[in-house]
Amino acid sequence: MSVLVVGASAAGLSTVEALRRNGCQEPITVIGAEWHLPYDRPPLSKQFLCGDWDEDRTRLRPDTMLSALGAEFVLGDSAVGLDVDRRTVHTASGRELQGDAVVIATGLRARVLPGQGGLDGVHVLRTLDDAAALRKELLEASRVVVVGDGVLGAEIAATARKMGLAVTMAGPQAAPLQSQFGPVVAGLLAELHASAGVHLKLGKAVTGLTDDNGRVNGVRLETGEVLPADVVVVALGAAPATEWLVDSGLRLDNGVVCDTRCRAAAGIYAAGDVARWQHEDSLLRLENRTNATEQAACVAANIIGDEQPYRPVPYFWTDQFATKIQVHGLPSAAADVTVAEGNLDERRFVVHYRRDGRVVGVLGWNMPKQTRLHREHLVPA
């Protein structure tokens, strides 16, 4: 049962590791679009961007562990097509690679603003090369505008502020992460950023960029106001990287649609950010680091012959300034928020998110251990 893994990031590598851990000794091939050996993304917006970590520290595994896996890594070549019946992947360089099982782990592609492409000084942050390019420019710049009020935008704003830049965060929400965390916690995040000197220009849509001879110099809001910038980071979320699957016949709908076992078709699986699987009575797709590993483990088990449904307790964390936020389950702005431990004024607390009386999410602010202990309150949907 040879396995072909498309994607050499966390989900792809975790699939290989889980296969080997489970005793699979068959040939495994991994295709990666980038030239880099597998690296980790969460540090890119934090430790790597500010310079605390070098590139080597972002590696997912050292050479010794990678070679011990006995897998072939085909790097710097991207998948451009999939023949589902023959489980064959075509690559940009003309390779044709086949596996008894194929795992789709191509992740996400950053969204961009219309007109962003031709301008210097405008960045997204998805890859290591993106992060290195952004870091280089931040070191020279004095004013950065972050377009985006989600997790990534907030982390980049915090890091740039720590690097000493004047930072403005722009986005349509009233407070950072409000649609995920609701007004109470998002309000505290807004306070955290404001007290650290981040200028918040929230609640107004960004309509475009201004430039001087092809070099960005500002971000225009719907009100007509222009926020001056030496560098602009666009963090408007990301879309599943499925364009190479358009002609495959697989069902694509905000990701690769899979059954409860993360199977998109016979012998074809998906794991990580790109996978949208049948979870309870709806389709779910998660964009977080932990999901990449856990879903990969489930896919590996199912390739070997288990029939495991994938039923995770979603988890992610975000570190902004000195604040550590841990999130278990699926909080939402529509849920009722109650303090379960600690208190909001001391900025050390655990809150429960309840819908119809059930705890659907647990969020901790500077209380990681205590937050984990509240996981048991999460009731499966």
Are 321 and 333 in contact by the 8 Å Cβ rule? The answer is no
Q: Is 66 in the site for other proteins (CB under 8 A)?
A: no
Based on CB atoms, which residue is closest to other proteins, 173 or 288? Answer: 288
Tokens of 43: 């540090």
Shortest spacing between CB 378 and other proteins, in angstroms? 13
The type of residue at 116 is: Q
Binding residue for other proteins (CB under 8 A) from 3, 4, 8, 18?
Answer: 18
Distance set, CA 370 to CA 64, 175, 312, 342, 349 (Å): 36, 26, 20, 10, 9
Minimum gap (Å) between residue 324 Cβ and other proteins: 6
Closer residue to other proteins (CB): 122 or 298: 298
Q: Determine the interface stretch with other proteins among 120-128, 139-147, 232-240, 293-301 (rule: CB under 8 A).
A: 293-301
CB under 8 Å to 165, separation ≥6 — which residues? 138, 141, 142, 143, 144
Answer for which of 7, 15, 16, 17 binds other proteins (CB under 8 A) is 17
CA-CA distance, 38 to 58, in Å (whole number)? 9
* DSSP H stretches of helix in the chain: 10-21, 47-50, 63-68, 128-140, 151-162, 178-195, 289-304, 368-373
Nearer to other proteins, 347 or 375 (CB): 375
By CB under 8 A, tell whether 294 contacts other proteins: yes
Q: Is 293 in the site for other proteins (CB under 8 A)?
A: yes
61 counts as binding other proteins under rule CB under 8 A: yes
Interhelix angle 289-304/10-21, nearest 10 degrees: 40
Q: Which stretch binds other proteins (CB under 8 A): 137-145, 163-171, 215-223, 368-376?
A: 368-376
DSSP, collapsed to helix, strand or coil, labels residue 80 as strand
Contacts of 367 (CB under 8 A, 6+ apart): 326, 341, 342, 348, 349, 350
Q: Among residues 59 and 90, whose Cβ is nearest to other proteins?
A: 59
The one among 93, 254, 368, 379 contacting other proteins by CB under 8 A: 368
Near other proteins by CB under 8 A, which window of 87-95, 204-212, 264-272, 364-372? 364-372
Give the angle subtended at the CA of 51 by the CAs of 198 and 185, to the nearest 5°: 35
> Of the two residues 278 and 290, which places its CB atom closer to other proteins in the complex?
290
Polymer length in residues for the chain = 381
With CB under 8 A as the contact rule, the residue among 3, 9, 11, 14 that binds other proteins is 14
Cβ proximity to other proteins, 31 vs 300, nearer residue: 300
Least distance between other proteins and beta carbon 72 (Å): 21
Interacting stretch for other proteins, rule CB under 8 A, among 89-97, 190-198, 302-310, 369-377?
Answer: 369-377
d(CA 55, CA 233): 20
Interface residue list for other proteins (CB under 8 A): 14, 17-18, 21, 40, 42, 60-61, 289-290, 293-294, 297, 315, 317, 319, 324, 326, 366-372, 375
